Structure formats: structure tokens, C-alpha cells
Amino acid sequence: MISAESSQPWQSSHPWQLEVLPTPSGFPTLVADGIYVHSSRDPRREAEKIALTVKGSGPIFLFGFGLGYLTEEVALRYPERTLIVLESQGSIFTLAQKNRDLNPLLERENVHFFVAIDPDRIIPLLDELFGEVPRTPVQRLYNRLLYEKDSPWYRSVEEAINLWFTKSSVNEATLKRFGKRWVRNLSANLPSIRDFPGILGLQGLFQGIPALVVAAGPTLDELLPLLPDLALRCVVIAVDTALRALLRRGVKPDFVVVVDPQFWNFKHLDRCPAGKSFLITESAVYPPVFRHSFRRTFLGSSFFPLGRFIENRLEIKGELGAGGSVATTAWDFARLLGSNPILLGALDLSFPGLKTHFRGALFEERAHEQSNRFLPAETQSVRALRDAAPFWAADMEGEPVLTDKRMTVYAAWFQNRFAQYPGLSTLRLSPHSLAIPGSHYRSPQDFLSLPVRRSEIDAILDHIDRTVALSIGNPEIQKERAQPFNRALDALLDGLRESESLAWNTQGRLEEAILRLERPGAAKGEYVQALLADLDRSDQAIRESSVKEVVAFLFPHLSEEDDETQNAETPTETEALLHHLRYALHLYRELYGNVKYHLDTLLKFERFNSKN
């Protein structure tokens, strides 16, 4: 059980007049400002009726606790499900504890109370509680009186919950779109895990030195004239989409962060000589990134199971956060360096002045290249804004600015990370950027009075370069690293071959069993028992496989609702068994296809890499 109450609890616009009154049923009820929160006759019976409407198997969010009758009833009827209780008034929660015995409810580990908390803390708390967004459908139950009486709080909390769930749909859509691309890139780039050092060797090297993270939002136009002076005072970390603009201004960033797997993102590096910059990337980027001219290359730990399989047997590179945008990774890298404060430039997450990009961005150049009298560049820009389905939100000064759902997901990631590192100061350099709790606006001119530290920064960079040359850059050390890398690759291929064979054989066994059991009068008995025992052994072998995370990566999300047995109306024993076997066959076909894709792709690039 989590009781989350902030040090500065939420305060409603006016104090509530609360009263606990007896009822004919013997169970007390609650009255708020003269209005009954629960039934005036039998609040427990009322809760029982509402609890009967609960469906599904996912978490349940209860908006408004009152005296806790509904929470008790739902926890009693669905003991295996996670309950999140949201109550805006700490006084109501305290009153419930005084008038009712809530100890059995409070002792339940899967019932969590968020009482009078700042709505901005909801997303970090849910991340802490669940880790990943639950894939099973959730249900929401409302005490309408409490919700409407304190609607600003409840609506803010519900908006935060909606945003948290949006992350799941965005992640699933991203996996569906780029999953196979990531596997292809990783298969081509696996030698990079052997050949390049990890970012852990950079941890804390810039302790106390300010970092300037330069993103590629529309306000980059306003920041560019100040960059040469800011670069004298800060470690400069550029995202790939901003690199061209910095080089044109004569600023050579110390680090360039690249994490996108696509060809078009790689084009941001085209004709951008970066021989003075260190590349910070991960092993699933578009492969030609590793052939681009950088001073040195450092890898963060892979975001994906295929890369982690090799890293875990060779070298842990160092975790970097991934919030869907390269800017999230760049901020996390600045944190790893030990820099404080971190200045975020052009991280707008909005459309200030209805602008979608800075002048000279790759998008603008492509729009001009493709422009014609029927589709001018201006039309393309307007469409980009319109198709984002923008809506109004507050900027850093509380003024309205257009943003979209995708950018609010990135903002939620930043908000969560800011909350995790309260001692780290993150300062935004434009007042027109989307407001993110935990960050503050400062004019970039304010930092021109900081002491010049460029020589100190360059000395640290030179030390990094020499250290790499003497360690992983040494040919003898590279030979030593080749042995564990080859063993890890062999273990990966062997595990995938075993899984492929298992999935193929189990698939054939299921097809044969389904055909046999569909025949009228087919004998069952011992045959079915042996079949189910075989299935259990296959399932157990998959669960114990060393490559289970790898083969699960592209596996489609299949919830319990996908199982046809959920929709069958009183099936016979044979029908229920056939439903189960068909569902299992579907799973093993998906598994086989997934394993085969990994194997074919890896073997293709293994042959290519062995020739080069």
C-alpha cells in the first residue's frame, strides 16, 4: 500500500463542511456541505451494486474515497486487481479513518492511496508503482459528488492519468512501425558493441560545469546568435537535428546525440563534418551513422533485448533515458556527465508563433525542394501543423501555446526525470516553450556573465580522447574483446536456433491435434493429457530460454480478450479445448515467425561483417 501525500497538499478553493451521520442500516454516511456523499439509508449496499459493474482484469482507479465503502467492496470482490484510490481532501481521508475500521483495507498491498497530492506528481508515482503502463484494460469508478465538488483537482489528475496511458499507445505504435527496422539495424551494428566504449567512462567528468543541451525547436532561431558565447561557458551537447544549424553558426558541439533508427534522420548528419565532436549513440541507429566522421564514438546501453544480450556478456555501456525524443536522451547524458545546471535550448515541445521548425531545418529544405505551384512550401508547413492535431497548453510564462499529444508525452518523461533528480537544476531558455513542472525559465543572456571555462572543458575532452586511444582503441585490446563477443554471438544464434526448432515442432503438434480432435467421436483421454503435458514442456522451455527476451521483442500484444474462449457461451469440453489449442497455435506461429526473422537477419549481417 502506498500513501502518497505531498509536503504541500492540494487545497480546494474553499473549506468543506463535513459531517458523519448515522443511517438505518447502521453504517455511517458522509455529508459534504449539506449533500450526501453516500446513500442516506445503506451506503454499503450502494457500494455493492456499483462493484457489480466492474469488468475486465486490469487496474481500477477510484476517484473519490469518501468513507471507503466502494473501495472496500471492490477490494473484497477483486482481490487480485490493483486499486488506485484518488482523494483530493486529506480531511475526508482522516475522517474516514476516525469513523470506520479501515485497517484491513490499508493492509492490502495492492491498494494504493493518492491523497491530496499535487497532480503533477501523478505520472512519476504511476511510473514508480507500475514500471510500465499495464496492457490490460483499466476501469474507472467515480464518486460524482466528490469529483464535481473538487473538479479542478480530479480533472487535472485524470488528465495526467490519460497522458500516462498515452505513453503505452505511442510505444506500441512505435514498436509496430520500427520494430523490424531496429532488429535490422542492430544485426548490422552488433560489432559496434565490441568496438566502441560505453558512456560509463564519461560519468561525472564534467562535475559542476554547466551543460547546454541544444534541441531543434522553432526557438533555435532566437538562440543561435548567442551560442558562440554560451559555448565558451558550457559543455555543448547537440541533438542530431540541430547539428547543421550549430555548424553554420561556427559552433562545434562537444557531443552529438543520435538515437533514431531511420534513414531520414541520418540525413541530418549529411554534409555536417563533426570531427571535433564525440558521438553519443546506441547500437540500433541507422548503420551509416557509425561511418560518419566523429572524433570518438561512445555507446549507451541498448534500448533493445537483442543488443542487451551481447552487452551483458561483453560490457555494460551505461543506461541513458529514452522518452521517445532524442532530446530526452541528450538531457539524460548531460546528467550523467555531472553537469549542473543543465540549460535546455530550443526544447520547445510546442509550436510558438505557429512555427513547426527553425529556419534552415531539413524539413524546410525538403519542403522547398518538393515545392511547386500546387504544393508550395508554405502549404506543407501548414499541413504539418494541422496534421499534428494541436491544442492549447501553457508555456513557461503561463501563456497559451500550441502543442500536440506526442510532445506532451515527451514532456511527461521530462517531468518524471526532473522529479527523480530534485537537486539537478534544469533551466529552459525560451519563455514560449511548453511548461514542464520541475524546470524553470531563464533568459539565455543571464548566462553570458558566467566565467569562461572553455579551456577547462577542452582539457577534459582531450583527456577522454587519449584514454580511449590507450584502451579500447589499442589493437591488442580489440583482439581480446573479440573473443567474448564471438562467444556471445554464438550463444545468441544457438539459443535462437533452439527456439526456432521448438516453435516449429510445437506448431506441427498443435495442427495435428486440432485436426484429430475436430473429427466426430475422436478419442481423447490419455491423448489429451499427453498433448497438454507436451505443451507445458514447450511453454516451460520458452520461459527458461536464454533468448526469451529477444524473441519476445516483436511479439504482438495479445491480451486475454484475444483468446476465443473468453467469448464462447457455455462451450462443451471439446469446444473449450479446441479454442485453447487454436489460441496456442496462433501464439506458436507468431513465435516461430519472430524467431526466424531474427535468425535470418542476424545470419545475413554476420556473413557480411565476417567479410569486412
Give residues with Cβ within 8 angstroms of 80, minimum separation 6.
110
* Distance (Å, whole) CA 551 – CA 383: 39
Kindly list the strands in the beta sheet with 29-32, ordered across the sheet, starting from the edge strand earlier in the chain. Answer: 18-21, 29-32, 35-36
Q: 156, 119 in Cβ contact below 8 A?
A: yes
Count other C-beta atoms under 10 Å from residue 603's C-beta.
13
- In whole angstroms, how far apart are CA 134 and each of 130, 131, 139, 212, 520? 7, 9, 12, 36, 42
C-alpha cell at 104: 484491513
C-alpha cell at 123: 505520472
Nearest to 59 by CA among 82, 80, 76: 82
Helix axes of 526-544 and 573-611: crossing angle, nearest 10 degrees: 30
Phi, psi of 101 (to 5 degrees): -85, 100
Beta pairing class for 139-142 and 60-63: parallel
* Distance (Å, whole) CA 608 – CA 602: 10
C-alpha cell at 529: 493429457
Helix (H) or strand (E) holding 335: helix 326-337
* Cis amide linkage into residue 273, ω under 30° from 0: no
Classified as helix, coil or strand, 184 is helix
DSSP letter string, 284-317: TS-GGGGGS-EEEEEEPPPSSHHHHHHHHHH---
* Distance (Å, whole) CA 257 – CA 594: 30
Q: 362, 448 in Cβ contact below 8 A?
A: no
Predicted local distance difference test score (pLDDT) of residue 5: 46
C-alpha cell at 48: 455493492
Nearest to 339 by CA among 202, 207, 444: 207
Predicted local distance difference test score (pLDDT) of residue 382: 63
HEC string for 97-127: HHHCCCHHHHCCCCEEEEECCCHHHHHHHHH
* Distance (Å, whole) CA 554 – CA 180: 8
- pLDDT tens figures, 308-353: 999 999 999 999 987 778 999 999 999 999 999 999 999 999 999 9
Q: How many residues does the chain have?
A: 612
Q: 146, 66 in Cβ contact below 8 A?
A: yes
Q: 429, 345 in Cβ contact below 8 A?
A: yes
Q: 350, 401 in Cβ contact below 8 A?
A: yes
* Distance (Å, whole) CA 597 – CA 181: 11
Predicted local distance difference test score (pLDDT) of residue 249: 94
Q: Computed from CA positions of residues 292, 296, 300, 306, in that sequence, does the dihedral angle turn out positive or negative?
A: positive
* Distance (Å, whole) CA 106 – CA 69: 13
Buried b (16+ CB within 10 A) or exposed e, 240-270: bbbbbbbbebebbbbbbbbbbbeeebbbbbe
Helix (H) or strand (E) holding 595: helix 573-611
Range 456-463 contact pairs with CB under 8 angstroms and sequence separation of 24 or more: 456/209, 457/206, 457/209, 457/235, 457/254, 460/205, 460/206, 461/254, 461/278
Predicted local distance difference test score (pLDDT) of residue 553: 87
Q: 548, 542 in Cβ contact below 8 A?
A: yes
Residues in the chain predicted with pLDDT less than 70, given as ranges, are 1-14, 167-176, 361-375, 377-388, 522-523, 556-571, 607-612
C-alpha cell at 331: 538531457
DSSP letter string, 542-568: HHH-TTHHHHHTTPPP--GGGSGGGT-
Q: 123, 167 in Cβ contact below 8 A?
A: no
Q: 13, 26 in Cβ contact below 8 A?
A: no
* Cis amide linkage into residue 341, ω under 30° from 0: yes
Q: 550, 309 in Cβ contact below 8 A?
A: yes
Q: What is the DSSP letter of 438?
A: T
Q: What is the DSSP letter of 211?
A: E
* Distance (Å, whole) CA 242 – CA 362: 10
Residues forming beta bridges with residue 121, ordered by sequence position: none
Q: Is 597 exposed, middle or buried (0-12, 13-18, 19+ CB in 10 A)?
A: middle
* Distance (Å, whole) CA 275 – CA 252: 9
